[in-house]
Structure 1
Amino acid sequence: MVNAAEESRRLQDQVAWITGAGSGIGLAGAQALAEAGAIVVLSGRRAPLLQAAAEGIVRAGGRAEVEVLDVCDAAAVAATAQRILARHGGRIDILVNSAGTNTPRRFWRDQSPEGWRQVIATNLDSLFYTTHAVLPAMRARHRGLVINISSWAGVHHPKLTGPAYNGSKHAVTAMTETLNMEDGIHGIRACVICPAEVATPILDTRPQPPSAEERARMLQPQDLGQAIRFVAELPAHACVNQLIISPTWNRMYIDSL
């Protein structure tokens, strides 16, 4: 029988690499995985934010490391993955791709080629770079989990997020399933989590940012952190291919009534 302590530390000593870990869903996921016993490696571009996040995890009794990284730089991603693998005996057990962005000028009438490239590079290209970097080690160990944060816009077609965001998030959803197609036989699982509105800093990039009252009704980062932990704690023979989660007060439905 599994006791309560073992139940709460199911990921003991597993190595989890999280991108976009300085805030929002990435930070909440790192905190939840650390609570479950994982050694979390936090990546993002802002060193002070990452260091503060890591210190908070350590104060709470977890283990955290920092790897400052621009996930849009393929060479830097590969080098970072190699450093993590070298420190941890060739292991990255869990990869959480949570880096994401959008632009205020996001519609066909106002989005520039530069804005398009920024969104696609962050939301899609970076996920390829990180996954490509960890797959050989996962295949060698015949075990591994990739969790990609997509969006409600990765399964539906909301107008408010724009063509670059919608296109990138649909691509993430499709790309994730190709991992299960090819690498399930190697013991590797992939899950795409598709949340509707979450009260994270990316909302500030909207042409009309939501009010505090509206944000309070949305999913909170900790909700997604718990979803990430749920997927990670399932036994290795179980794969959640896709998880769609929304606020009960779902403006994606309400605004269409």
Structure 2
Amino acid sequence: MYILLGNFSGLEMCYVTTTVPRMLSDLVSLQPSIISFQGCFLQFYFFFSMGTTESFLLAAMALDRYLAISHPLRYPILMSPRFCVNLAASCWVSGFIWFLVPIVLISQLRFCGSNLLDHFICDPGPLLSASCSPAPRIELAFYSLSSIAIFGPFLFIVGSYTAVLRAVMRLSSTVKRKKAFSTCTSHLAMVSLFYGSIMVTYVAPEASGGSNKVVTLFYSVVTPLLNPLIYSLRNKEMKDALRRTILGGN
């Protein structure tokens, strides 16, 4: 679990770095926000590659929880450190090649007119709208890959936790059930925040326009901000410190 969490925390730092510094610079700048063609597509590539990697890592973490709860005696063998490292590495590699071809094809489209993007990041919806040449096949390919990258891991996570729920309900002790559920709550909270927001934005082509900038801001900034707090609340000392801060006690 900690190998996967280490990869996840490193991914979140890189994920935020692709958008937040540029966005903050645009907010404080008195000049019109301008980004180069190369810079736009580099941001496009890294933002979506890391988002896809996060989707795969969340599925890998669900597999880890399933093996830990449903097969506790075999868990050290099934989820060995070597297998865990290979699993995390496959998530990174798959995430960074998933959208490579569609992004290259979009970058080769003709862009004309004002070249204004109604967004704070280089998002596929505004980019395709700014293109002079219609590209329905490229658009279909991009959103098909998006749907697979979203719903594939999500359905795997749902299936994993269905099996986990069955295993937990077979436990005779209420204390054991509570302990088993407590190991999954943080991951389930992250899954809900991440998939709940990206499904709204990238499943349908018409859903990724400028009207969804708030949703994009949520999963690109707010969710990575909340994830460390969600996992930190599993720590008893952290919960006690937060309780004292809120209640004003010693």
Q: Same fold (TM over 0.5)?
A: no
Larger Rg: 2
TM-score by length of 2: 0.29
TM-score by length of 1: 0.28
Q: Going by fraction, where is strand more abundant, 1 or 2?
A: 1
